[in-house]
């Protein structure tokens, strides 16, 4: 089975505002409401690819109920833990102003509720796949991902971690199968600026030396690089297309990579599936469909074939 964990899920209010003016009343030209959070995005992309997963985490209040309702309507299974107080956050994402968003704080999560999540995850074993994605609320211990991986150590669970800074660094000694920093996050860890695919390789290798098995670095318009466990460095420029919506592209890349790995246990295939899924989501108003991912994958293979001639 495949499981995703989103400790701080959200309702994402995605809006476009033509000619946005600061300090004045602005009206939307387009809007949508979607269940959000990095793990939820992974589950959604996997579902779009025909792969079943169960989304785990915490929800609260009327927004939490709506997150669960929308996931169930979409066909995404979930085992969210309900909190008695507060409400799940609402994130406002201005699609017409690239990269601009306002993210809520989320509810307080008690140690008792954290323990319920730990009990849920204790049932995982050989052949299961777990995604630990995104930030955590301030009320949760900052070593929660580390504790989860510690509890699953030696049980044969493939774990992908998509988190930043300390959350990521604390899990490396437990040898996650995959981590996916972007080039800016990787640079922040080591106090450097990384702008080219060649730049990221030595620093990706450092994370490997610290314990990560595979390091996948996303670089937006510069493409991506995989520092694979078998010693290979696989890289690709960004596929050609028009950026429509960058929200969830990184999560899509993680989902695509793991889907590709589960399909063939081949790093090159997994890498190109990850790049295809991430790019297809960036080229789409919503998270990528299977058909959109396959179209980008064919483009990548065709480019490779032409370069090899």
Domain of residue 259, CATH code: 3.40.1190.20
Model confidence band, residue 234 (pLDDT cutoffs 50, 70, 90): very high
CA distance linking residue 241 with residue 245, whole number of Å: 12
Report the range of poorest mean pLDDT among 37-41, 125-129, 232-236, 237-241.
Answer: 237-241
Active site (catalytic) residues: 251
Band of pLDDT at residue 98, cut at 50, 70 and 90: low
- pLDDT at residue 308 greater than cutoff 70: no
Give pLDDT tens digits for 156-209. 999 999 988 888 999 999 999 999 999 999 999 999 999 999 999 999 999 999
Helix spans in the chain (H): 38-48, 61-74, 111-121, 144-152, 165-169, 183-190, 197-209, 249-264, 267-282, 290-308
Contact 277, 45 (CB under 8 A): yes
Name residue, tokens 């090159």: 268
| Mean pLDDT calculated for residue range 289-308 | 86
Judgement on whether residues 14 and 108 belong to the same structural domain of the protein: yes
Q: Which of 14-28, 43-57, 86-100 has the lowest mean pLDDT?
A: 86-100
- pLDDT above 80: residue 69: yes
Identify the residue with better confidence: 305 or 202: 202
pTM for the complete prediction? 0.92
Together in a domain, 92 and 184: no
Q: Are 226 and 297 part of one and the same domain?
A: yes
- In order of 63, 82, 150, the CA distances from 168 in angstroms are 28, 26, 14
Q: Indicate whether 99 belongs to any domain.
A: yes
* Most confident segment among 29-33, 105-109, 257-261: 257-261
- Kindly give the pairing relationship between strand 158-162 and strand 178-179: parallel
Q: What is the span of the domain harbouring residue 227?
A: 177-309
For residue 108, is pLDDT > 90?
Answer: yes
Residues 80 and 197 in one domain: no
Q: State how many domains the chain has.
A: 2
Tokens of 27: 């009206």
């Amino acid at each position: 089975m495949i499981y995703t964990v989103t400790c701080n899920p959200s309702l994402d209010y995605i809006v476009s505002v033509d000619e946005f003016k600061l300090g004045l009343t602005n009206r939307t030209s387009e809007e949508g409401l979607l269940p959000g959070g990095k793990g939820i995005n992974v589950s959604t992309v996997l579902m779009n690819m025909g792969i079943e997963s169960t989304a785990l985490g915490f929800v609260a209040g009327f927004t939490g109920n709506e997150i669960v309702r929308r996931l169930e309507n979409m066909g995404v299974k979930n085992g969210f833990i309900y909190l008695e107080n507060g409400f799940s956050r609402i994130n406002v994402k201005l699609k017409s102003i690239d990269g601009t968003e306002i993210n809520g704080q989320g509810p307080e999560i008690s140690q008792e509720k954290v323990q319920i999540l730990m009990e849920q995850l204790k049932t995982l074993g050989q052949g299961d796949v777990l995604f630990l994605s995104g930030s955590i609320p301030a009320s949760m211990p900052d070593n929660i991902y580390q504790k989860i991986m510690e509890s699953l150590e030696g049980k044969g669970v493939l774990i992908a971690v998509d988190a930043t800074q300390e959350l990521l660094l604390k899990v490396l000694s437990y040898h996650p199968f995959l981590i996916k920093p972007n080039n800016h996050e990787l640079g922040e860890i080591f106090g450097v600026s990384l702008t080219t695919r060649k730049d990221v390789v030595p620093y990706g290798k450092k994370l490997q030396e610290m314990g990560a098995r595979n390091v996948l670095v996303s670089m937006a318009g510069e493409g991506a690089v995989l520092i694979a466990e078998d010693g290979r460095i696989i890289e690709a420029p960004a596929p050609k297309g028009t950026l429509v919506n960058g929200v969830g592209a990184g999560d899509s890349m993680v989902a695509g990579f793991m889907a590709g790995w589960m399909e063939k246990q081949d790093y090159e295939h997994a890498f190109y599936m990850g790049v295809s899924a991430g790019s297809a989501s960036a080229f789409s108003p919503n998270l990528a469909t299977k058909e959109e991912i396959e179209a980008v994958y064919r483009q990548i293979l065709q480019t490779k074939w032409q370069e090899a001639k």
